[in-house]
Structure 1
Amino acid sequence: MSQPQTLGNGQNTSWEKFWYVLGCIYFGAYYLSKVPAKKALSEYGLVEMTSAEKFWYVVLCIFVGLGYFNKVIMKRALSEVRFAAPQAFAAPAGQPPYGA
């Protein structure tokens, strides 16, 4: 079972780090898969994209809209997050409950 994480404080296991690096080496597939998700997060004001990420997002959009359509999926998931009941999430030890 995975541990709950907070935005900005998430941690990857050593295996997740290994597979991400391996996926990036293989034609940059993991990196290019991350770009549309990061674009969606940037539109919510949660992250800033680097100039390289902005460039690759445009390239992905030109390539049959791949970047745009993947971003739409991520934005849909993010739009559902704000409707989650605050009681459904436990606060980390020593912190007040979410929504309090």
Structure 2
Amino acid sequence: MSERQYLGQGTTTSAEKFWYILGCVYFGAAYMQKVPVKKALSEYGLVEMTGAEKFWYVVQCIFFGAGYFAKVTIKKALSEVRSSSGFPAV
């Protein structure tokens, strides 16, 4: 069983760091998957997107709305988070 983590205070294991970097090296796939997540979190005021992330989100949206549709499912999941989970309700 893994230890409970809180937004802004989480950690990644060595294996998770390795696979993320490997995913980024492979045509930036891991980075591109992260961008819609950051967009959803930014709309709740939990993070700020960098200029590069904003640019790539727009590029993803231009190509058949891929960035937007990925963000929608993430926002739906965030909307179901209960405030008793250790961080402010969104």
Q: TM over 0.5: same fold?
A: yes
Tell me which amino acid in the other structure corresponds to 1:59. V
Tell me which amino acid in the other structure corresponds to 1:19. W
Question: Aligned partners of 2:58 and 2:2: how far apart in 1?
Answer: 34
Paired residue for 1:57?
A: 57
Paired residue for 1:23?
A: 23
Pick the structure with more helix per residue: 2
Tell me which amino acid in the other structure corresponds to 1:13. T
Per the alignment, in what secondary structure is the counterpart of residue 81 of structure 1? Answer: coil
Compute the displacement of 1:81 (Å): 0.3
Compute the displacement of 1:2 (Å): 1.6
2:8 is aligned with 1:8: yes
Which runs of structure 2 are paired with 1:19-98 in the superposition (5 Å)? 19-82=19-82, 86=84
- Deviation string for 1:26-49 (max 9, x for gaps)? 000000000000000000000000
Unaligned runs of 5+ in 1: 92-100
Structure-1-length-normalised TM-score: 0.82
Structure-2-length-normalised TM-score: 0.91
CA RMSD of aligned residues (A): 1.6
Higher relative contact order (CA 8 A, sep 6+): 2
